[in-house]
Amino acid sequence: MTGSAHFSLRKADSLRATCRRVVAAIVVLGVAALPVIGDCAEAKLQAIQQVERGDTAANEAASAAMTLGVGDVLDIQVYGRPELSTKTYVAEDGSVQMPLAGAIQIAGLSPAQASQKLADALRKGDFVLRPQVSIQLSQFHSQQVSVLGEVRTAGRFPIESRTTVFDLLALAGGVTAAGADEIVLLRPHGEGQVTRYPLDLKSLTDERKPVPTLALRGGDTLFVPRAEQFYIYGEVTAPNMYRIEPGMTVVQAISRGGGITARGSDSRIEIVRRTSDQKYLHLQPSLLDPVMPNDVIRVKGRLF
């Protein structure tokens, strides 16, 4: 391989990595309208398509479980008969107006079932000999999901036919700085049962992890928990509460707190750690010891 080819590959890899971080920022930070220029626009499109493709079987099962309801906006197409195609909505009584066939009740049906019912109405009325009807859902006003926890705008949001988890986070304004990297999708079932689906947001920036592709359903709840945190005070520049990064050590925690002041000592550090039985341990850690959730780190002053 020539030197120019090696350079091109390195440049392409670097661009892909940069674009992956841009897409992650757009989704996780909620900057849904942020312009992405150049080749990164293509990277954003590919990322969205990857999420939308997802697990085909899972998405088809989710689509089948969705039912149409009042206010849903539908794009109805009749193959070979464009004059019968229409864009309409489900009325208050649960019906849609179909050209020639009139009002047809479809509330409570899946899109596939509703398509079949409209086709049957056209055939029984002798309007079309062998009608083939398809329904594309433009907006799911009857299907809503909740977003709770560490997002900028918690609440209930209507989902469209291809709304992803990342679309939903963008609608909620994105994850706050205190939000965890792993979020949870809660899906209710019959008899009060709820299934938990953990979703890792770091998969957007780590090519080794699969991107979550679980399709949303009406009634789902997306919960963004608070990230695990530690506290640092004493002779540091910026005493405060901070989130724990994976594998964080004591020296990294001190750096996160702005570093030790001129009066502090890196040999006089104490950690107060709460155990599972609600007791407190007073530890004298080394700089390379790991930091645990809810640790309280105190950097003491010099003795002389």
Q: Structural domains in the chain? A: 70-139 (3.30.1950.10), 229-301 (3.10.560.10)
pLDDT at 5: 44
Q: What are the start-end ranges of the H helices in the chain?
A: 3-28, 39-53, 56-65, 111-124, 165-171, 250-256
Residue in the block written with tokens 């019912």: 117
Q: How confident is the model at residue 224 (pLDDT cuts 50, 70, 90)?
A: very high
pLDDT score of 181 more than 50: yes
| Sheet bearing 229-234, strands edge to edge | 240-243, 229-234, 296-301, 264-274, 280-283
> Who wins on pLDDT, 43 or 91?
91
Cα–Cα dist 245/257, whole Å: 13
| pLDDT band, residue 158 (cuts 50/70/90) | confident
The model's pLDDT over 2-35, given as tens digits with 9 standing for 90+, comes to 544 444 445 444 545 554 554 444 444 443 333 4
Q: What's the CA gap between 256 and 291, in Å, rounded?
A: 12
| Contact in structure between 130 and 113 (CB atoms under 8 Å) | no
Please check the confidence at residue 117 and state whether its pLDDT lies above 90: yes
Percent of the chain surpassing pLDDT 90:
34
d(CA 165, CA 174): 11
Does residue 272 have a pLDDT over 70? Answer: yes
Bridge partners, 264 (sequence order): 301
| pLDDT at position 42 over 80 | no
pLDDT band at 52; cut points 50, 70, 90: very low
Question: Span 239-254, mean pLDDT?
Answer: 93
Look at residue 57 and tell me whether its pLDDT is greater than 50.
no
Place of tokens 């670097």: 14
pLDDT at 54 over 50: no
pLDDT score recorded for residue 78: 92
In this model, does residue 280 exceed pLDDT 70? Answer: yes
How many whole angstroms separate alpha carbon 157 and alpha carbon 168? 8
pLDDT greater at residue 261 or residue 57: 261
Indicate yes or no: pTM above 0.85.
no
Residue 262's pLDDT band (cuts 50, 70, 90): very high
pLDDT, the chain, mean: 79
Instruction: Classify residue 152 by its DSSP letter.
Output: S
Residue 268 has pLDDT above 60, yes or no: yes
pLDDT in tens, 206-219: 677 777 667 788 88
Helix/strand/coil (H/E/C) assignment for every residue in 35-47:
CCCCHHHHHHHHH
Q: Greater confidence, 65 or 115?
A: 115
Residue 299 has pLDDT above 70, yes or no: yes
Residue 303: the pLDDT is: 83
Report, as an integer, the average pLDDT of 221-231.
92
